[in-house]
């Protein structure tokens, strides 16, 4: 059985640009500050299949994480704003109040609750000095028997608000790749990879001696490059064979944020050589492949 954790939040670095997920949404606050919010699940069983619901209540963002049967696992109120003097983001998390619970218990949402109650944070928390490229993570549930953990990721984004200067705006987003502290093997040989957490619709991996690989969670038609739909994602693993190389990648999270498995698109530039870090595996991510393709 999953049990609720006390509030645990960490701010960590990430090399990703604005990311996307169907378990996620993007929220913009009145001053134009944007956040991406999505749930991650780790562990062997992936039993909870955590999904996120994001709504608005009196101009505030209300977040609820539910399992595959729409049972409420956790919820909280989210606020964010820009510190113009320091050029950083301030993120505030508040417990669910009666108005937020009233919204989450609306029959139209179909959320199952125990006595109209939803586990929430124990008190107000404020996180200042969060920069673009960093994330705030909120642990929600942990199963010690399986090692499975569910946590929310709050990521500042640079994309402009679709309705600047107005009230809070929310927009859902689509499938993306999620790679955390990966293990990498090329042609059966272990290759040292940097410890990092990246999320995006496309990812790029530069491997010394093997060139550059760009993987897309969407069909990158129109990119001007020959992508092959041959990368197989399943749970925490991603593998592909191209130009005589067999590449296998294992993540500490599910590789896909929406589906458990799927076939992705991959492009290979075997001639790419990094000028500044020729002997180092490099990971990058972005909203589109165009940001990641090696320059011709």
Question: For 124-161, what is each residue's pLDDT tens digit?
Answer: 999 998 988 788 988 888 778 777 788 888 989 888 87
Region 271-288 average pLDDT: 83
Spatial distance between the Cα atoms of 204 and 225, rounded to a whole number of angstroms: 14
Share of the chain above pLDDT 90, in %: 31
- pLDDT tier, 14 (very low <50, low <70, confident <90, very high otherwise): very low
The reported pTM is 0.56
The pLDDT, as a whole number, for residue 287 is 76
* pLDDT at position 13: 46
Asked whether 249 and 239 are in contact (CB, 8 A), the reply is: yes
- Identify the pLDDT of residue 17: 32
**Can you give the chain as a three-state secondary structure string?**
CCEEEEEEEEEEECCCCCCCCCCCEEEECCCCCEEEEEEEEECCCCCCCCEEEEEEECCEEEEEEECCCCEEEEEEEEEEEEECCCCEEEEEEECCCHHHHHHHCCHHHCCECECCECCECCCCEEEEEECCCEEEEEEEEEECCCCEEEEEEEEEECCCCCCCCCCCEEEECCCCEEEECCEEEECCEEECCCCCEEEECEEEEEECCCEEEEEECCCCCCCCCCCEEEEEEECCEEEEEECCEEEEEECCCCCECCCCEEEEEEEEECCCCCCCCCCCCEEEEECCHHHCCCCC
Q: Residues of 3-26 as b/e, b for ≥16 C-beta within 10 angstroms?
A: eebebebeeeebebbbbbbbbbbb
pLDDT digits (tens, 9 = 90+) for 178-225: 888 899 999 999 999 988 878 788 999 999 999 999 999 988 988 999
Mean pLDDT of 80-95: 92
Residue 152 is predicted with a pLDDT of 86
Which residue has better confidence, 291 or 184? 184
Domain ranges of the chain: 3-173, 178-291
């Amino acid at each position: 059985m999953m049990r609720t954790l006390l509030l645990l939040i960490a701010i960590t670095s990430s090399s990703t640009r604005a990311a996307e997920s169907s378990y996620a949404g993007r929220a913009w606050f009145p001053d134009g500050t944007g956040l991406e919010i999505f749930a991650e699940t780790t562990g062997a069983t992936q039993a909870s299949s955590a999904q996120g619901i994001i709504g608005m209540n009196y101009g505030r963002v209300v977040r609820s994480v539910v399992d595959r049967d729409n049972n409420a696992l956790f919820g909280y109120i989210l606020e964010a704003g820009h510190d113009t003097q320091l050029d950083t983001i301030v993120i505030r998390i508040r417990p669910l109040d009666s108005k937020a619970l009233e919204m989450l218990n609306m029959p139209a949402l179909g959320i199952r609750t125990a006595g109209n109650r939803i586990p929430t944070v124990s008190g107000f928390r404020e996180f200042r000095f969060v920069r673009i490229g960093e994330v705030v993570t909120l642990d929600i549930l942990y199963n010690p028997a399986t090692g499975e953990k569910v946590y929310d990721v709050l990521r500042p984004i640079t994309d402009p608000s679709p309705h600047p200067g107005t009230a809070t705006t929310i927009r859902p987003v689509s499938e993306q790749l999620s790679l955390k502290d990966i293990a990498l093997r090329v042609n059966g040989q272990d290759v040292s990879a940097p410890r990092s957490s990246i999320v995006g619709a496309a990812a790029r991996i530069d491997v010394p001696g093997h060139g550059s690989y760009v993987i897309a969670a969407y069909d990158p038609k129109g990119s001007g490059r020959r992508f092959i739909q041959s990368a197989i994602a399943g749970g925490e693993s991603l593998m592909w064979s191209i130009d005589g190389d067999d590449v296998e990648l294992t993540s500490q999270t599910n590789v896909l944020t929406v589906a458990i498995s799927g076939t992705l698109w991959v492009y290979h530039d075997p001639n790419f050589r990094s000028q500044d870090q020729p002997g180092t595996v490099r990971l990058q991510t972005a909203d589109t492949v165009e940001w990641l393709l090696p320059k011709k």
